[in-house]
């Protein structure tokens, strides 16, 4: 049996999730935006190792429960391990979310950086909506890649030297058309949820800004730097000819492909542990109410 890709990425997931959220922002959402004052039963689509459960359950009213679904056996095993001594009622299911059939019994359906990897995200959204009881909520933490790419500042360089926004925007859009997988889905979710009949839709943006400060102590710098590198910041491109050829095969002109390669190569060369870098990923958090009225 072919190994599930995300089962091989557990270490990556654990080292990079905190690049996207501040813990106090989760608390703000739970207490002041969603105003969750009664126990809730949450189902997490594409739960991975249970990241959202680990963040949300300590903030939710006592008696709240958490169910996580993921295709990865190793991810679910890790989730069970992390929660085995926790004082919460949890359930973890190994299943393909495209295929699983669920009862309409949950108060909240959530996803976190999951829908962007789905070739039919609207199909998953419908499953999420259909799993929630009347008056419940759907909450999606999903990225808007081009917004995140526009939020880099590396001291000593113009952003246009290291990030080609126009090129990336076209590549993201074309990739979504070809595969259905859309890294900009976070910006589209309010519209998609409206199409599914979800009411009272709102969207927030995570307030997380990562600042790699050359004046910080070495331990703090090293931790953040390696998390950023793990997430692809300043990643070294593949061999030049192969990189350019792959872009041309995706419809990019030779001149644009060369310019994109040069900017990525420059970023990889100048970004190091002593760089001064600020980056706001801008994760979109979209939510609404399920109602049959």
CA distance 226 to 230: 6
Q: Is 291 left (phi over 0), alpha (psi -120 to 50) or beta?
A: beta
DSSP state of 16: H
Token output for 233: 């910041």
Query: Which sign does the torsion angle of CA 14, 17, 19, 21 carry?
Result: negative
pLDDT of residue 293: 59
Given a cut of 60, whether residue 1 has pLDDT beyond it is no
Inter-residue long-range contacts of 246-249, CB under 8 Å, 24+ positions, other chains counted: 247/171
Provide the residue ranges of all domains of the chain, joining segments of one domain with +.
Answer: 5-144+183-208+281-289
Per-residue pLDDT of 141-199, as tens digits, reads 999 999 999 999 999 999 999 999 999 999 999 999 999 999 999 999 999 999 999 99
CA dihedral 234, 236, 240, 242 (to 10 degrees): -110
Q: What is the pLDDT of residues 238-289, one digit of tens each?
A: 899 999 999 999 989 999 999 999 999 999 999 999 999 999 999 999 999 9
DSSP helix/strand/coil, 291: coil
On the 0-12 / 13-18 / 19+ scale of CB atoms within 10 A, 1 is exposed
- Given this structure, which CATH class describes domain 5-144+183-208+281-289? alpha beta
pLDDT(77) > 70? yes
In this structure, what are the phi and psi dihedrals at residue 70, rounded to the nearest 5 degrees? Answer: -155, 150
Instruction: Find the angle CA(282)-CA(160)-CA(207) to the nearest 5 degrees.
Output: 15
């Amino acid at each position: 049996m072919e190994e599930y890709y995300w089962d091989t990425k557990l270490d990556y997931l654990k080292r990079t999730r905190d690049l996207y959220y501040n813990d106090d922002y989760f608390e703000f959402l739970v207490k002041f935006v969603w105003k969750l004052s009664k126990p809730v039963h949450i189902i997490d689509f594409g739960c991975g190792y249970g990241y959202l459960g680990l963040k949300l359950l300590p903030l939710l009213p006592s008696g709240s429960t958490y169910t996580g679904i993921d295709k990865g056996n190793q991810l679910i095993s890790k989730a069970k391990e992390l929660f085995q001594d926790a004082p919460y009622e949890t359930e973890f299911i190994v299943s393909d979310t495209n295929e699983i059939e669920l009862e309409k019994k949950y108060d909240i359906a959530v996803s976190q950086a999951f829908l962007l990897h789905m070739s039919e995200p609207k199909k998953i959204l419908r499953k999420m909506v259909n799993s929630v009881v009347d008056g419940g909520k759907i909450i999606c933490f999903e990225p808007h890649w081009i917004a995140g790419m526009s939020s880099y500042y590396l001291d000593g360089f113009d952003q246009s030297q290291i990030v080609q926004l126009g090129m990336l925007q076209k590549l993201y859009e074309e990739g979504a058309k070809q595969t259905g997988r859309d890294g900009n889905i976070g910006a589209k979710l309010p519209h998609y949820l409206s199409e599914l009949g979800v009411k009272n839709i709102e969207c927030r943006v995570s307030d997380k800004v990562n600042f790699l400060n050359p004046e910080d102590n070495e331990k703090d710098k090293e931790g953040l730097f390696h998390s950023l590198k793990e997430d692809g910041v300043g990643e070294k491109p593949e061999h030049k000819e192969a990189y350019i050829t792959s872009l041309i095969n995706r419809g990019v002109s030779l001149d644009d492909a060369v310019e994109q390669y040069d900017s990525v190569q420059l970023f990889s060369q100048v970004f190091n542990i002593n760089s001064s870098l600020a980056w706001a990923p801008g994760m979109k958090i979209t939510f609404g109410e399920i109602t049959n009225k």
